[in-house]
Chain A
Amino acid sequence: MTGRVEQLEDVIEKSLKVGLGLSTVLLLVGLVLDMPVPLRWGILLLMLTPVVRVAVVTVGLALERDWTFTFVSLFVLAVLGAGIWVAVQR
């Protein structure tokens, strides 16, 4: 059980690093070259990183068949989804 939790933490850590790395490059390029397009995508990517993190946790817990916390995690994902939905409607 503990081993699995550590495995999940490892996957989360990697997904956070990927999101962080990609957005850092985009933000740097955008700032140095004064280009709004990479800036916009860098910021959007950074904003999406926590959402992806929750999605990764949800899948990980479902694979572990920890249904209580899968449900908890799905709920958080739904609230974040609602936030994005409200934003897209505007």
Chain B
Amino acid sequence: MPAHHVLIYLLTGGAAGLVGAMLGIGGGVFLVPLLTLGFGVPIRAAVAASLISVIATATASSTVNLDRGLVNMRLAMALEVATSIGGLGGGLAASLLSTQQLFLIFGATLAAMGALMMMRSGRRNVIADTSVQPGRLGGRLQEGDTTYVYRVRRLPLALGASLGAGAVSGLLGLGGGIIKVPVLNTFCGVPIRVAAATSAFMIGVTAAASVFVYFARGDVVLPIAAAVALGALPGSLAGARLGQRVEARALKIFMAVVLLLVGGRMALEAL
């Protein structure tokens, strides 16, 4: 592979890692279209490279987020059950739907989530009264000098969303965080920073559920996957740090804009 190609893949991975780690979504939603439409990489190779890059982003950003106590481990593990089953089963369910139908459903869902998130960006999930018990899956969050409490609501919905996110992940090479983060934040009472950090912690496992199958099928083009992943590492370290400095409301609006753009684009692609 020529040196300037390596550089382009490194930069692409870096950008996807930066945004992916900041929002806890892994960055596959940007990588797959960029690699296929932008650089003409075959779809399977792009999905495989994206899954590997998602693992790199998840691993790198988790080293930062664990250190700051932002990852809700129990919630992550409970949801990992659903997401890993979805990830492994993604390929099977895929054959039931055409790519077009899939793009349309997925795109429309994302755009709707984006609109909802935008409308609710001013609402906060945290409770300032620290005497409130967070419950088995809830937790506490330190922001500046203030400690907040949050409780996890609608767990079945979170589990269902994680299953769907896993399936989409195995199919399209995403981390699935683009579904998990908005659902956790908008419907389940999880603060945006915790939702992003917990999702980033999980998406590595989601991607790992299907990536070995891609590897065995020979879909991993080594230099492409390596360059994208290598770029994603510093990108996600920076993204995870940046995500903690930005205000929660700004983070939500950024996420909503990403959802609207990616969702709208995918839905249009299918029409």
The 8 A CB mask of A31-59 against B (1 = contact, 0 = none) is 10000100110111011111101100100
Question: How far does the Cβ of A28 sit from chain B's closest Cβ, in whole Å?
Answer: 7
Q: Which residues of A contact B62 (CB under 8 A)?
A: 12-13, 16
> What is the size category of the interface that chain B forms with chain A?
35 or more
A-B complex: 5 closest residue pairs judged by Cβ atoms: A87-B212, A87-B216, A50-B204, A79-B84, A50-B208
Cβ contacts under 8 Å, B73 to chain A: 5, 8-9, 57
Q: In the assembled complex, which residues on chain B have CB atoms less than 8 Å from the CB atom of A90?
A: 213, 216-217
Q: Which of B71, B209, B215, B222 contacts A30 (CB 8 A)?
A: B222
* A83, B212: Cβ atoms closer than 8 Å: yes
Complex alpha-carbon distance, A10 and B211, angstroms? 26
Q: Does residue B29 face the partner (Cβ distance < 8 Å to A)? A: no
Instruction: Find the A residue at minimum CB distance from B78.
Output: A72
The distance from the CB of B218 to the nearest CB of chain A, in whole angstroms, is 9
- Asked if A30 and B80 make an inter-chain contact with CB atoms under 8 angstroms apart, the answer reads no
Complexed CA–CA distance, A42 and B215 (Å): 13
Max count, chain A CB within 10 A of own CB: residue among B55, B81, B223, B229: B55
- Across the interface, which residues of A come within 8 angstroms of B69, CB to CB? 6, 9
Closest to A48 in B: B208
Does more than half of chain B's interface fall in helix, strand or loop, or is it mixed? helix
Among A27, A69, A76, A80, contact of B229 (Cβ-Cβ < 8 Å): A27
Of residues 55 to 81 in A, which have CB atoms within 8 Å of B's CB atoms? Answer: 57, 69, 72-73, 75-76, 79-80
Interface residue B207 (Cβ < 8 Å from any Cβ of A): yes
> What are the residues of chain B within 8 A of A19 when measuring CB–CB?
59
List A residues at the B interface (Cβ < 8 Å).
Answer: 5-6, 8-10, 12-13, 16-17, 19-20, 24, 27-28, 30-31, 36, 39-40, 42-44, 46-51, 53-54, 57, 69, 72-73, 75-76, 79-80, 82-84, 86-88, 90
Interface residues of A, dominant DSSP: helix
Knowing A12-B66, A76-B205 are in contact, say whether A43-B71 is a contact too (CB < 8 A): no
Residues 36-90 (chain B) with a chain A CB within 8 angstroms: 52, 55-56, 58-60, 62-63, 66-67, 69, 71, 73-74, 77-78, 80-81, 84-85, 87-88
Whether B77 and A57, one on each chain, are in contact in the complex, defined by CB atoms closer than 8 angstroms, is yes
Min CB–CB distance B244 → chain A (angstroms) = 16
CA distance A3 to B207 in the complex (A): 30
In the assembled complex, B233 has its CB within 8 A of some CB on chain A: yes
**A40 (CB) vs chain B CBs: closest residue:** B222
Partner pick for B226 among A39, A50, A51, A88, CB 8 A cutoff: A39
Give bound CA distance, A44 to B88, whole Å.
18
In whole angstroms, what is the CA distance A19 to B89 when docked? 27
A50 touches B55 (CB 8 A): yes
